[in-house]
Structures are given as structure tokens and as C-alpha cells.
Chains A and B, each alone.
Chain A
Amino acid sequence: MPILGYIAKRGLQAIFVVVAVTLFISFAIRLTGDPAVMMRESANVTPEDLERVREGLGLNRPFLVQYWDFLSGLVTGDLGASFFRGPIAPLVSDALGATVLLALTSLVVSLIISIPLGVYAARHRGSVSDQIIRLLSLTGLSFPNFWLGIVLILIFSVSLRWLPASDFRSPASLIMPAVTIGVILTATNLRIVRTTMLDTLNQQFIMVARAKGLSERSVIYKHALRNSSIALVTYLGLQFGSLMGGLVVVELVFNWPGMGTLAVEAIAQRDYPILQTVISFLAIMIVAVNLLVDLVYMALDPRIRLE
């Protein structure tokens, strides 16, 4: 019962947040005024076009009805039409795929760097290398991520001509954006790995594992790392929001065809239905990831259930 109660409570919380956020976004977008009039300002459209847009968007109906349509559209996949670029659904699904690909690759890049370095720093606490790793991670936190992207383009595309600078044409296009975001993520992840490993290494079961005569490698990677990975997963979940925020900017630097580029293009064209859908989608993804992390955490560590 407490478990089911907890899941239900967390689920209700998540639903509340999704409703609040999407309601806020829809309301804010609606404040921009009559989209048809704005289109007349920005492009040559006939009155019939305006009527078609109003009709297509259902703008003559009350706000809450429109909002409900928007919400059910998110579920059914019928996302309606944008102002200038046809139906929204294919645009968003392409962009979402590109963004998820980039996010996951960056995450993998970051874990490959931060786990060994973080473990090393924790095992050699206070040593020169620990201090250097700490300083490096602080430096990583001090970059504007898009500037790192620009510098990478300068080095690897302009000077060395090794990698394509923009767009998504080949797997090689993925390297620089993924490294850019991966490095920024690593700065935080390194600290988390180091702290959680320090906590774990001080616990009794590690002493027992060592006393059993297990090899140090086995103690560290099989016992300690596995236990600290629970905390790591939680932090990764909490970080997911800022990862999405960072992605938006980095995508633009590399002209990556993801959600961020789509959103910024939508702002430039004043294509607000696209903007509304993109931001809502990202927010829902963040809520979903956080919910998932909470539930996984509960499955992994039964002690948290009573909280």
C-alpha cells in the first residue's frame, strides 16, 4: 500500500505540473494577440488565408476548449498546423529525434569521461591529481557552452578541416555538438561521481569486500560504483532540465535540426503554434524523466519508500 500510495502521489504531482506548465505556455502564447493579424504584418496573405488559419487553429473557440484540443493533440499526435510550415507533427517528431540523439550521445560522452576520472579523484582524495580534476571541472562549469562550440568549430572545421561545422549530414556531424554538451555535463557529473564515491568508499561493506581479499578493481567497479550509481542516476534526472536548456543554444551554434533550432526559428518567424508545441513537449519530457528517475530510484533502493 505505501508503495502504491507513493506512486499515485508522485503521478498526481507530475500531472499537476504538466497541466500547470502547459496551461501557462498556452495562455502566454495566446497573449500575443490574433495570430492571423500578426501574419498579415509579416507576410503577404489574403483574407481567405487568414480565415483558413483561424479555422485551422480553431481560434474562434474559447481558450479552454483550445487548450483541451492542444492537450489531447499531444496525446493523439494530431498537433495541428503551424502558420508557415504545414502540419506540426512531422516537424516536431523529426526535431525530437535529432535532439534525443544528441542528448543521449552527449550523456554517453560525459559518462565515459566523468566516471573513470571521478572514481580516480575519489580514490586519491586530496592528491595533486584530485585537485587538478577539481579545477578542471570548475573550469568546465565556467564556459558558456555555445562559446565552447564556436571554439571547437574554429579549431576542427576552420583550421584543421576535420569535421563538418554545421547541419546534420553524416555521423561526423554529431561529434562536435555531442562533445560540446558532453564537456559541460562532465563538469557537473565529475563532482557528483567523486562525492558519491567518497561516501560509498567510507562504508563498511567496502571494508568487508577489501577484507575478503577482492581485487581493488572488483571492489571499486563491482561494489562501490554500483552503489553510487543510484545517486548518480538521481542527479542525472535532476540535471535533465538544464541539459535541455543547454541543448537549445548549442543546437543553434551547430545548426543542429533539433527542438532548440525549431523553437528559435519559430520565434524568428513568429510561428507560435510551433513554439507552444516544442516548449510543452520539452517540459513534459523533463517531468516524465524526473518521474521515471524517482520510480527507478524507489525500485533500486527500498529504503526511500517511507519518505
Chain B
Amino acid sequence: MSAFKSFEFVAGIVLIALIALIALIGGAVLLSPLLFPGGGTAQSLVDRLTPPFQTWEYPLGTDPLGRDILARVVVGGRVSFFVGISSAIGAVAIGTVVGLFAGYYRGVWDTFLMRFADIQLALPFILLAITVIAIIGPGLDRIIFLMIVAQWVQYARLIRGSVLSLRRAEYVQAAQCYGLRDRAILFKHILPNAMGPLVIVGTPNVATNILLESSLTFLGLGIDPLIPSWGGMLAGGRNYIQTAPWVTIFPGLAIMLTVLGLNLLGDWLRDRLDPLGRTT
């Protein structure tokens, strides 16, 4: 019995350590222009394809152009976090507004939302992105825009569900009796009570978007190859997998640890805030 308890404890410690690691990566990512003035793009052809753990100058080795892999991994993290977090925030913002209106007014808003959700289910993000980016061309802003377009619906449905039950609540009826305007009722009274699940769904969503961004960049449909990014490093290192596997392994590990940390955080939040599993 005590073994189980201590395991939960150990798992908790591991989780917190991982999150700390993420914070560390995040911190290093924020400071990276100071740590790595070259921004991970400085080339040194003399040092090309240095294996990892050989020199202090390049702790994780160098890539085929002699660029410092550690610097590129850290700087690339900035791109990943920026895409993951800004797309989730954008989707939450739009989804919240539409969800509020759909849940409160029903009718046209509701129909629009549900039909859009059907369409979204049929065109998964990668397929949507392939189609649209083939036409408008790749780019950081486009990826974020597409992620928001593809993902606001899930938040809208979540908020809609909460609003449907909250609109009959006594305090909402009271507010209506006072003659408050709909907008005040929606944003001041209903919204604060409907926001909880957003955090639970939003945290793993940041993780998913980091994975999606790296997939698209890997396909050559994401971030400009000149900007260091984890997906771009994987794509570039792929041709050197036989001679220099470290070029591919370290950015992959960075993605994995970051996403795992975010998923653990999401799981923990879910257990804490939603023990009955209503948001799954």
C-alpha cells in the first residue's frame, strides 16, 4: 500500500521537476538573445558536424553548416512557445465570444456553430493547412491564423455547454430582473463562471499546437527555414541521419520534453479542477 502512495508521490515530484524544466527552457528561451547573440544562425564551417559532448563551445554539437545546436534548440523554443500559446489564446478568445452568444441566444448562432463543428471534424488541421498553405504560402503568422480558425470551435462548444446550464441559474435571472443589458449579464456574470474548463482544455492544446507546428515546418509548410525552429531542425537534419544523428535527436527531445511537461500539467489540472471528468 505504501508503495502505491509513494509512487503517486514520486510521480508528483517527477511532474513538478518536468514543469520546472519547462519553465527553465521557457526562461532560457526568453533570455536567449542575450545568451546566444548569433540567434543560433552563426555559421562556422570549420566546426561543421561536431559531435555532441566533445567541446564546451558546442555542448550539443553542430549541424552541417557548423551552427551551434544548443543555441538553435533554445532559440527554436521561442518559436514553438510563441505559436503554441498565441494560437491557443486566439482560439479561446474567439471561441468564448461565439460560445457565449450561441449558448445565450441559441437560434442562428447555435446552428452556425454546430454546422461549423461538423465541417471542422471532416477537415483535420494538417489537411486544412496543406490546402491553404499551398495557396497562400508558408509563414509563422499564417500557421497561427489557421490554428485559430481550426480550433476556436472546441472552445465555443465548451462555453456554449456551460452557458446553457448557467442561463437558467438564479443569479442570472436576478440580473435579468434588475434590467441589466445582455452584454453585461454575459460578460460580467456568466463568463466568469463558465471559464474554468477553458484552462483544462487549453493547456494540452498548447502542446498539440507545438506538435502541429513542428509537423508543418517539417513538411516545409511552416516556419521559414532561415528561422531556427524545432521542426525545421528536424527537417534539415533528416538527410544527415546516418552520419550525424544528433542534429535530429536533440530538437526532437526538446519537443518531446516540452509537450510531455505540458501534457502532465494538463492532466494534473484536470485531476485538480475537474475530478468528475466532465470536460473529457
Whether the pair A279, B118 counts as a contact (CB closer than 8 A) is: no
Which of B127, B252, B259 makes the CB contact (< 8 A) with A248? B127
Which of B122, B245, B263 makes the CB contact (< 8 A) with A154? B245
Whether the pair A25, B131 counts as a contact (CB closer than 8 A) is: yes
B195-242 CB contacts (< 8 Å) to partner A = 207, 211, 214-215, 218-221, 231, 234, 238, 241-242
The secondary structure that dominates the B interface is: helix
Query: Which chain A residues lie closer than 8 Å to B256 at the CB level?
Result: 139, 142-144, 147
Which of B8, B119, B121, B131 makes the CB contact (< 8 A) with A28? B131
Q: Separation in Å of the A183 CB from the closest CB of chain B?
A: 13
Query: Which chain B residues lie closer than 8 Å to A150 at the CB level?
Result: 234, 238, 241, 248, 252
CA distance in complex: A127, B6 (Å): 11
Question: Of the 9-residue stretches A61-69, A112-120, A237-245, which lies at the interface with chain B?
Answer: A237-245
Whether the pair A245, B263 counts as a contact (CB closer than 8 A) is: no
Whether the pair A249, B264 counts as a contact (CB closer than 8 A) is: no
Whether the pair A128, B3 counts as a contact (CB closer than 8 A) is: yes
Whether the pair B121, A241 counts as a contact (CB closer than 8 A) is: yes
Q: Separation in Å of the A281 CB from the closest CB of chain B?
A: 10
- Any chain A CB within 8 A of the CB of B115? yes
Whether the pair A142, B263 counts as a contact (CB closer than 8 A) is: yes
Whether the pair B127, A126 counts as a contact (CB closer than 8 A) is: no
Per-position contact with B for A253-296: 1 when CB-CB < 8 Å, else 0?
10000000001100100001001000100110011001000000
- Among B4, B119, B124, B277, chain A packs the most CB atoms within 10 A around the CB of B124
- Any chain A CB within 8 A of the CB of B260? yes
Per-position contact with A for B243-280: 1 when CB-CB < 8 Å, else 0?
00100110010011101100110010000000001001
Which of B118, B231, B238 makes the CB contact (< 8 A) with A17? B118
Whether the pair A16, B118 counts as a contact (CB closer than 8 A) is: yes
Whether the pair A282, B127 counts as a contact (CB closer than 8 A) is: yes
Contact of A138 with B264 at beta-carbon distance under 8 Å, contacts A17-B118, A147-B234 already known: yes
Which of A24, A25, A131 makes the CB contact (< 8 A) with B11? A131
Q: Separation in Å of the B17 CB from the closest CB of chain A?
A: 13
Chain B interface, number of residues (Cβ within 8 angstroms): 47
Residue of B nearest to A139 (CB): B260
Whether the pair B215, A146 counts as a contact (CB closer than 8 A) is: yes
Residue of B nearest to A127 (CB): B4
CA distance in complex: A290, B242 (Å): 41
- Any chain A CB within 8 A of the CB of B169? no
Q: Separation in Å of the B45 CB from the closest CB of chain A?
A: 25
- Any chain B CB within 8 A of the CB of A246? yes
Residue of B nearest to A288 (CB): B122
Query: Which chain B residues lie closer than 8 Å to A151 at the CB level?
Result: 249, 252
Residue of A nearest to B213 (CB): A144
Query: Which chain B residues lie closer than 8 Å to A17 at the CB level?
Result: 118-119, 121-122
Query: Which chain B residues lie closer than 8 Å to A252 at the CB level?
Result: 219
Query: Which chain A residues lie closer than 8 Å to B118 at the CB level?
Result: 13, 16-17
- Any chain B CB within 8 A of the CB of A211? no
CA distance in complex: A198, B198 (Å): 26
Query: Which chain A residues lie closer than 8 Å to B264 at the CB level?
Result: 138
Whether the pair A249, B263 counts as a contact (CB closer than 8 A) is: no
Residue of B nearest to A165 (CB): B241
Q: Separation in Å of the A65 CB from the closest CB of chain B?
A: 21
Whether the pair B122, A142 counts as a contact (CB closer than 8 A) is: no
- Any chain A CB within 8 A of the CB of B135? yes
Whether the pair A287, B122 counts as a contact (CB closer than 8 A) is: yes
CA distance in complex: A242, B126 (Å): 8
Residue of A nearest to B218 (CB): A146
Whether the pair A20, B119 counts as a contact (CB closer than 8 A) is: yes
- Any chain A CB within 8 A of the CB of B125? yes
Contact of A158 with B11 at beta-carbon distance under 8 Å, contacts A28-B135, A249-B215 already known: no
Query: Which chain A residues lie closer than 8 Å to B238 at the CB level?
Result: 150, 253
Q: Chain A: residues with CB nearer than 8 A to chain B?
A: 13, 16-18, 20-21, 24-25, 28-29, 31-32, 126-128, 131, 135, 138-139, 141-147, 150-151, 153-154, 158, 195, 238, 241-242, 244-246, 248-249, 252-253, 263-264, 267, 272, 275, 279, 282-283, 286-287, 290
A-B contact pairs, 26 of them (CB 8 A): A16-B115, A28-B135, A29-B131, A131-B7, A138-B263, A138-B267, A141-B259, A142-B256, A144-B255, A146-B218, A150-B234, A150-B241, A150-B248, A150-B252, A154-B245, A154-B248, A195-B277, A245-B125, A245-B127, A248-B219, A249-B219, A252-B219, A264-B219, A267-B134, A279-B131, A286-B121
Identify 12 new A-B residue pairs, CB closer than 8 A, beyond the known A16-B118, A21-B123, A31-B135.
Answer: A13-B118, A17-B118, A21-B122, A128-B4, A138-B260, A143-B256, A144-B256, A154-B241, A154-B245, A158-B245, A238-B121, A241-B124
